[in-house]
Structure 1
Amino acid sequence: MKKLFITFSAIIMMAFSCEEKNAVQPLRDNIVRLKSGQSFGMCIGKCYNELIVENNSVILKQVERKERGGSDTESIEHRDNSLLNQIKADLAGFPKDKFLRLKDQYGYPDYADGGAEWLEIEFTDGTIKNVKFEYGSPLEGFEEIISSLRTYRLSLMDKYR
């Protein structure tokens, strides 16, 4: 019985210690993950580009389309933390409540291949909000952060052509 208790205790302790190691640390304040992307539905090449910031790492995810409207694609990910501190600084004081009140879509993103952009944020309470808008358009009240994230994304896209 004593061996069973010790074994059971060890299993419980390992389970809880694994949970702690996998716990996600906030990037800044109450933000766990950020995604800022752009896509063009009718293009050939790297038409989908998404900047993903999570777990203190920055990833540029790209999807390259081989033919217009085709399903032959290749997904590529580049890890590059050179912009991490700048992005974290830009997130200081992010207005969560104001962001959560935004509509899910503004304008006609990717209509007639005008392109689409989005900003998706996951917060420490598990809430995820994605806002999609026309490529290059401002998002009222979030112009600075959108502009910064766009610049970072384009910089990495240029670096990983």
Structure 2
Amino acid sequence: MGLRFRHIREHLSHHGVAREQLDLEQSEQALVAEIRARLPGRLDRHCLDLKLADGRLTLFLDSTAWLTRARFLSGEILTSLKSYHVEAVGFQIRLPEHIAANQDEKSRRPRLSETAAKHLLEAAEHQRDPRLSEAFRRLARHGARAAPEGQED
């Protein structure tokens, strides 16, 4: 039995609505590539994404430094893209996915290790001031609850 595997795109290209969507997607990708190629200087390397809707081009850049630079170049960008019916250009910051993921990871990182929590509990037992002792215990409970097993600072 000779099975021939085909890409899903090949199957979808035989259906009217799906073919139209595939053609639209392909033309949008070509437009994005052409617009990127026309961006001045090294701006294309820092443009993470772009959106063209109703004559307004929005560039999503990776830093405020490049956003500022792009604002200075907005006249040049508009001039180079007149043939694409771009009438206005806007800019937004979007962090690259790997940086955003690292920041999320850092924000969830526990502040106290299990060892630090044990030291705080030990210090709490040796305090004469009951309020200070209770503060150490609360801090230790918070740290022990947030710390994953086996991770220490």
TM-score normalized with structure 1 length: 0.26
Greater CA radius of gyration, 1 or 2? Answer: 2
Q: Which has the higher contact order (CA 8 A, sep 6+)?
A: 1
When you count strand as a share of all residues, which structure comes out higher?
Answer: 1
